[in-house]
Amino acid sequence: EKPAHTVLLTQACWMAVTPVTNAQYEQFDPDHRQLRPAWNGDDHPVIFTNWNEATAFCLWLSQRDGREYRLPTEAQWEFAARGTDGRIFPWGNQWDPRRCNSAEESGDFDQTSPVAHFPNGISPHGVLDMVGNVWEWCADWYEPGYGSGATRSDPTGPAASQYKVCRGGSWMNHGYSCRVTMRARRAVDFSDAYIGFRVVCVSETNAVAAPAAKEDAKV
């Protein structure tokens, strides 16, 4: 998480309000439904998707919609989660287990919850579920130091590494791991019940070429 450093974001993007759901992902990969536990409903965040599969979904969605979708960079993700005032959680500086799905949430969920179920956990930019529920894949390769302390424009992480970055904490984690600065790392072929992803749209035209949906999914 350190050193703290200033980042300049110059490229506009539109971030999805919630993580990608099972219903959305399975338009791309219908066979994914076979991997789902009974508790992971259609409106829950997709899980058991590795970084490569999340990226493939972005490419497919780009082709389908004629816009360019990607995984967010770490800098884009953190800006959407906390804004510019340095807050610790999307809603402020005090931990409140009622505002997200974490290991301390005392509601009805022992695992994932439907996206947007915690509207009072909204970020300054109107984005939901930025902490808790599922860790979220980012585009960046992982670097231990996370920045040099100098101002950087539109950083995208190191050119290569052993792991990709995950952000946000999950239903398995306590409040400490649900801070907006918390970072995790996983290999690109890793998947589990606590990692999902969301997309950003970086362009409304000139979408990149993408593979077709698996099994000729109807959309």
Please tell me the distance from the alpha carbon of residue 105 to that of residue 179, in angstroms, as a whole number: 15
Bridge partners of 136, per DSSP, are: 167, 196
What is the pTM for the complete model shown? 0.86
pLDDT of residue 160: 77
Chain-centroid distance of CA 69 in Å reads 13
Domains along the chain?
13-145+157-216 (3.90.1580.10)
- Report how far residue 189's alpha carbon sits from residue 31's, in angstroms, rounded to the nearest whole number: 18
Task: Give pLDDT tens digits for 20-42.
Answer: 999 999 999 999 999 999 999 99
How far is C-alpha 120 from the chain's CA centre? 18
Q: CA quadruple 67, 71, 74, 80: dihedral positive or negative?
A: positive
pLDDT confidence of residue 174: 96
Q: What is the 3-state secondary structure (H, E, C) of 141-152?
A: ECCCCCCCCCCE
Q: Specify the pLDDT at position 81.
A: 96
For residue 152, what pLDDT is reported? 78
State the pLDDT at residue 4.
64
184, two tokens: 């995790």
pLDDT along the chain (219 residues), means of 10: 62 91 99 96 98 98 96 93 93 97 87 97 97 97 70 70 95 96 96 98 58 33
Amino acid at residue number 21: T
With vertex at residue 23, the alpha carbon angle to CA 204 and CA 53, rounded to the nearest 5 degrees, is: 65
Q: What is the pLDDT of residues 164-178, one digit of tens each?
A: 999 999 999 999 999
Tell me what pLDDT residue 207 has: 42
Give the span between the Cα atoms of 9 and 59, in whole angstroms. Answer: 23
List the Cα angle 202/204/206 in 5-degree steps: 95
Query: What's the rounded Cα separation, in Å, for the pair 68 and 8?
Result: 21
**The residue type at 23:** A
In angstroms, the CA 88 to CA 178 distance is 9
Angle of CA points 176, 177, 182, to nearest 5°: 110
Task: Report how far residue 79's alpha carbon sits from residue 9's, in angstroms, rounded to the nearest whole number.
Answer: 9
Distance, CA of 137 to CA of 122 (rounded, Å): 19
Instruction: Return the pLDDT at 108.
Output: 82
